Amino acid sequence: MKSYRKELWFTVPTRRAFINITQQVNDCLRESGISEGLVLVNAMHITASVFINDDESGLHRDYEQWLEELAPHEPISRYLHNRTGEDNGDAHLKRQVMGREVVVAATEGRLDFGPWEQIFYGEFDGRRKKRVLVKIIGE
Ligand code: ZN
């Protein structure tokens, strides 16, 4: 069995964003030389997510609105977490809803997606360097 590991780095200039990272994960799979196996992609921060869905801008605005209704950024004082002096209580909750990681099957050297599936990095507390881990095992 072969094993591959890579960190993808992101510095998102805004507090929140969704970034399609499918091509970067594809590049990792090609670089790994693995054709049959499993691809794990996870955010390495507790205020960011990795998830799979459609690359459709209306949907992404819907996520933004829905997440802001569930866990508004302001008022900052509504979150006990922010008593630590941070202002990202909402970002922890948004990450929980959108998830930490995805696992995609690798088949014949390709990411074995269903129709319209794409991989996204969801940032909820940006403006600093953050990482995503890509781990691939197989042969
Ligand atoms: Zn925090």
Q: What does the pLDDT read at residue 14?
A: 98
Provide the residues around ligand 1 (an ion) whose CB is within 5 A.
Answer: 86, 88
**Ligand 1 mean position, distance from CA 92 (Å):** 6
- Give residue 125's pLDDT band: very low, low, confident or very high (50, 70, 90): very high
Report d(CA 28, CA 133) in Å as an integer.
11
**Ligand 1 mean position, distance from CA 128 (Å):** 14
**Ligand 1 mean position, distance from CA 85 (Å):** 9
Q: Which has the closest alpha carbon to 134: 1, 44, 6?
A: 6
The pLDDT tens digits for 64-110 are: 999 999 999 999 999 999 999 999 999 999 999 999 999 999 999 99
Range of the domain at 71: 2-138
The pLDDT tens digits for 20-33 are: 999 999 999 999 99
The mean pLDDT value for 38-43 works out to: 98
CATH label of the domain that carries residue 62 = 2.60.120.460
Number of structural domains in the chain: 1
**Ligand 1 mean position, distance from CA 106 (Å):** 34
